[in-house]
A and B are shown apart, each in its own frame.
Chain A
Amino acid sequence: MAKKILIVDDEPNIVTSLEFLMEQVGYEVRVARNGDAALESVRSFEPDLILLDVMLPKKSGFEVCQKIRENPLWQNIQIVMLTAKGRESEVAKGLAIGADTYITKPFSTKELVARVRQMVGEPI
């Protein structure tokens, strides 16, 4: 069974790029474009890792992260925050909320892929 990656971002082009990258590696990919959809996807898709954008419509990425972490079942899901704001406060907040790591946009594709691989292992 392939490892599952959930991509949460509302920018379509970024989603396209992330989708491509992950599928290239061989992960199974699902996309959610807002907070509610993300939580729904977590429930149904049960990903191993979430690429979570901070700036989401309605619910912010932080909220989603918090919600996920609240659920004891999802403690082991890896969460990677994607943030365009490089502010330290944002980063700290994210980590405090329960993200495992963060990546600032624009990111290096190589680096992103390497990080995901490191965290979740090979696709199979």
Chain B
Amino acid sequence: MLQGWLILLASFAYLGVLFAIAYYGDKRADAGRSIISNPYVYALSLAVYCTSWTFYGSVGRAAGSGIGFLTIYIGPTLMALLWWVVLRKIIRISKANRITSIADFVASRYGKSTLLGGLATIIAVVGVVPYIALQLKAVSSSFTIVMQYPDVVTPAERAAPLFQEEALYVALALAVFTIVFGTRHLDATERHEGMVAAIAFESVVKLAAFVAVGVFVTFVLYNGVGDLFGYAGNHPELQQLLVFGTDTTTYSDWAWLTFLSMLAIMFLPRQFQVAVVENVDESHLNKAIWLFPLYLIAINLFVLPIAFAGQLHFSNGDVNADTFVLTLPMAGQRPALTLFAFIGGLSAATGMVIVETIALSTMVCNDLVMPVLLRIRSLRLNERRDLTGLLLNIRRGTIGLLLLLGYLYFHFAGESKALVEIGLISFAAVAQFGPVILGGIYWKGGTRVGALTGLSAGFLVWAYTLLLPAFAQSGWFPATFLEDGPFGIGLLRPLSLFGLTGMDQIAHAMFWSMFFNIGGYVGVSLMRRQNIVEHSQATLFVDIYDKVGDGSAPRFWRGTASVDDLCALVGRFLGHDRANSAFVDYAQRRGIPSVRELPADADLVHFAETLLAGAIGAASARVMVSSVVKEEPLGMDEVMSILNETSQVIAYSNRLEQKSRELEAATAELRAANKQLQELDRLKDDFISTVTHELRTPLTSIRAFSEILYDHQDLDIAQRNKFLGIIVKESERLTRLINQVLDLSKIESGNAEWNMTDVDVREAIDEAVMATSQLAREKRVQITVDLPDNVPPVTVDRDRLMQVLLNLLSNAVKFCYPADGHIAVRLYDDSGALRVDVSDNGPGIKPEDQRIIFDKFRQVGNTMTEKPHGTGLGLPISRQIITHFGGKLWVNSTPGAGATFSFTLPYHHEPAVEQPIERPLLMGGQHYG
């Protein structure tokens, strides 16, 4: 028999067990042998997500609207897949920055802003207090029901006087329990190992209890699943629950709710607490990713069976579906199971309340109360020696206050619809953290003002579209507000804002709140610029994986501090022993023998700040540290000048680099020029040596024969004459050579004298031909001349022109075949210049030779059979002369078909400036090198 005292005893016993586990957990943690440092405990602790709403409410929802209840479990399942990416990053960031709550996270990310922290805290509290009320209701009504065992009687809706309500005592009990549980000391990391152990335990208990009831209902009350559903199939209204509604809005609701719960699993304060703050090891995520969804499946398996069984069993509709988990065992006359179920529900509720209130109290203390208190100078908090007591008391007070608020909400909302839906409404409230936090870890551009705008906008829209209508529906607000909109403005109707209809209330609220939240966040962030702190925090957060070590940011800080001051400051909040040991550790890590010798630099200050942040939040820590340290905050100007300096140095080194590159280029150029000069030098040497050789060759003959004639007086006449002839000829040759070398030299060096007059080229040609006729006749070569009647005069040196003509003609004669030779001289106008062609029908010149004949001392011809008579300088000199006149001298020839030497003379021309070194001209007149 289930007596009231038995139930009470069981309840307290259970709470006692929880407490014992927590105590043991904390003891082990202090001893350094943590019992919670394993992935299974971690995953189970995450199951605090399942509260009495899951335990009782799921069945209630399933009975009312079919399979839709699963959305809030599918969402977390899907989100768990992304945990490895998202949650891991959040954990990493939080650990690196000693972040201990959601409000802290938001505040820290956006430039350590206390305002933002405060706002986040308010949103969290407003959003979650109703959820706490829900738990209180669950416990108290389940207690009431169970007390009536074996009669299943739904508690009447009565507003009992304040002090007779069970819920109050439940609230009180839970408050005391939680306070003792979670505020025994202040930890810099805000970790509560004992609490985690206890939560993991209670997750097991609630799962076991639920599954027990499920098994009982399915296999004991009925004969298995098929049997149960078969029965259900016979009832048309139950039939409906098996499928979705036919209109697609249900699908969109399904999607929105899934999305909503995805955000909830991340941003419910209790989830943040167990998933991030209490996380011991990132690698635990590996197991959690699938263990948690597995848990969710397990606890949902029997929901539908229980729901249907309940509808079937209590077909008169008296019993609230929310209570089926309890009332079915009762109806089945199972006291033990009933008690177990009750304990399960109690477990689910207490788990939620404990974690949620601890998390909220941390937020309220660090991000709401302390910042305000620190600013009130009259309290002179800066001078208080030990603040740990104050902090703890603030938290205790907060816990008590939260539970009181929860109770009050429950009391005044009564059995209103608001209470049932409030779970989802709470989800929607914490979902507003989604954009600023997710944006905060992936987008460096999110600014403080942007976050403020987004959060506020989202929160306001949420309140307007969900909270207010809920109040209106339970009578706290006039209903006309809902139907006609505020002040009668139809477009602003809370349930169909701006005319958007056809959505479920939650979906509608989610849409608009996200719209304004994200819109405000992104829009305002893009409009304004960040300050230094925001920017460095943003980089710190988004680039957390890029940092080595503890992920600390580059220090934009300058100031003076003393180690003692810092240590004392930290000691005031953490306790002096803890502070000292932390500093000693730090000194050791930096390789400095004692704390005394720690340099009071930016790194130390940052360390102290981080330590403090764990206790009082990042924003407050900053305030405290700056009060101790004579900080000179770097303004934008100073930062800019530092950056300027840096950029100047960079620019300077760039210029240096450029100069050295230029230098290299210049050196390379010099080297090339040097090489060229050496080459030319060599050529000059070659020229000289060739000239020497050419001079010495005739000299050799002259000397040799002179000596021979001298030494051999008795030579016969013939031989004498022969030898004398050679002497004469060689002398002539020598003279010729000397003259030509000198000539060429003069022309090339620009020292030649030019006597430029107007010359009639026809006359010159005539004269030259006349002069060569003798030579031609000897060889029996014919010369023909083709001259136009009239030819404008050209300005040339007549003698030099003659020189060229004679050279060409004598060459032509030389190379003609005797008796068969024919030379043609043509004079004509060729595109604006006078042109002379001297063609012969000799053997022609090979293509490869056509260039070298213009080189000095080069002669072509069959040197096997005859040594050419020339000096090899004729053509080079001719070319120089023609070039000086502004024309060109070249040859066209096909071997075997004679050769034509052509030159042009411009009608009017400035004498060319002589280049001391001849440069080869390629086709088209382009110079190379």
Contact = CB atoms under 8 A, between A and B. Distances in A.
Chains A and B in contact, CB within 8 Å: yes
Interface of A: 10-14, 16-18, 20-21, 24, 33-34, 55, 57, 84-87, 105-110
Contacts of A55: 693
B717 interface: no
A41 to B, nearest CB: 15
Contacts of A10: 863, 867
| In the A-B complex, the 9 residue pairs with the closest CB atoms | A17-B704, A105-B700, A84-B696, A13-B701, A106-B703, A106-B700, A109-B707, A84-B693, A106-B699
A12 B693 contact: no
Given A10-B867, A84-B696, A105-B700, A20 B689 contact: no
Contacts of B702: 106
B711 interface: yes
Interface centre among B704, B708, B864, B867 (most CB of A within 10 A): B704
A85 B711 contact: no
Contacts of B867: 10-12
Interface centre among A55, A105, A106, A109 (most CB of B within 10 A): A106
Contacts of A108: 703, 707
Contacts of B711: 109-110
A105 B696 contact: yes
Contact of B703 (A21, A34, A84, A107): A107
Contacts of A17: 700-701, 704-705, 708, 726
Contacts of A86: 692
A17 B727 CA distance: 11
A105 B699 contact: yes
A35 to B, nearest CB: 11
25 contacts: A10-B863, A11-B700, A11-B701, A12-B867, A13-B698, A13-B701, A13-B726, A13-B729, A14-B697, A16-B701, A17-B701, A17-B708, A24-B712, A55-B693, A84-B693, A87-B689, A105-B696, A105-B699, A106-B696, A106-B700, A106-B702, A109-B703, A109-B704, A109-B707, A109-B711
Contacts of B708: 17, 20-21, 109
A85 B700 contact: no
Interface of B: 689, 692-693, 696-705, 707-708, 711-712, 726, 729-730, 863-864, 867
A24 B719 CA distance: 13
Nearest to A21: B708
Contacts of B701: 11, 13-14, 16-17
Nearest to A17: B704
Contacts of A109: 703-704, 707-708, 711
Nearest to A104: B696
A117 B187 CA distance: 120
B704 A106 contact: yes
Nearest to B685: A87
A85 B699 contact: no
A108 B699 CA distance: 11
Contacts of B696: 84, 105-106
A47 to B, nearest CB: 20
Nearest to B710: A109
Given A57-B863, A110-B711, A14 B689 contact: no
Question: By CB atoms of chain A within 10 A, which of B707, B726, B729 has the most?
Answer: B707
B335 to A, nearest CB: 125
A85 to B, nearest CB: 5
Nearest to B707: A109
Contacts of A13: 698, 701, 705, 726, 729-730
Nearest to B699: A106
A55 B711 CA distance: 28
B709 to A, nearest CB: 10
B715 to A, nearest CB: 9
Contacts of B729: 13
Contacts of B712: 24
A84 B692 contact: yes
A33 B726 CA distance: 19
A13 B730 CA distance: 9
B700 A84 contact: yes
Nearest to B689: A85
B662 to A, nearest CB: 40
Given A106-B696, A106-B699, 5 more contacts: A14-B701, A16-B726, A21-B704, A106-B702, A108-B707
Most buried by A among B697, B702, B711, B712: B697
B690 to A, nearest CB: 9
Nearest to B711: A109
A34 B863 CA distance: 10
Contacts of A16: 701, 726
A89 B864 CA distance: 28
A14 B693 CA distance: 13
Nearest to A33: B864
Nearest to A108: B707
Nearest to B698: A13
Nearest to B694: A84
A14 B727 CA distance: 11
Contacts of B700: 11, 14, 17, 84, 105-107
Contacts of B703: 106-109
Contacts of A24: 712
Contacts of B698: 13
A87 B688 CA distance: 11
A34 B866 CA distance: 12
Nearest to A24: B712
A13 to B, nearest CB: 4
Nearest to B696: A84
A105 B696 CA distance: 6
Contacts of A107: 700, 703-704
A40 to B, nearest CB: 13
A93 to B, nearest CB: 13
A110 B726 CA distance: 19
Contacts of B692: 84-86
A11 B707 CA distance: 18
B914 to A, nearest CB: 28
B165 to A, nearest CB: 124
A11 B704 contact: no
Given A85-B693, A87-B689, A109-B711, A14 B704 contact: yes
Nearest to A56: B863
Nearest to A87: B689
Contacts of A21: 704, 708
Contact of A84 (B697, B705, B726, B864): B697
A21 B703 CA distance: 13
A91 to B, nearest CB: 13
Contacts of B697: 11, 14, 84, 105
A57 B861 CA distance: 12
Given A84-B692, A105-B696, A110-B711, A34 B704 contact: no
A16 B700 CA distance: 11
Contacts of B730: 13
Contact of A110 (B689, B707, B863): B707
B2 to A, nearest CB: 127
B28 to A, nearest CB: 97
A71 B729 CA distance: 40
Nearest to B706: A109
Nearest to B729: A13
A13 B867 CA distance: 11
Contacts of B863: 10, 57
A108 B700 CA distance: 9
Contacts of B689: 85, 87
Nearest to A16: B726
A33 B703 CA distance: 21
A11 to B, nearest CB: 6
B593 to A, nearest CB: 78
Contacts of B726: 13, 16-17
A59 B634 CA distance: 86
Contacts of B693: 55, 84-85
A84 B705 CA distance: 17
A18 B708 CA distance: 10
Nearest to A55: B693
A16 B708 CA distance: 11
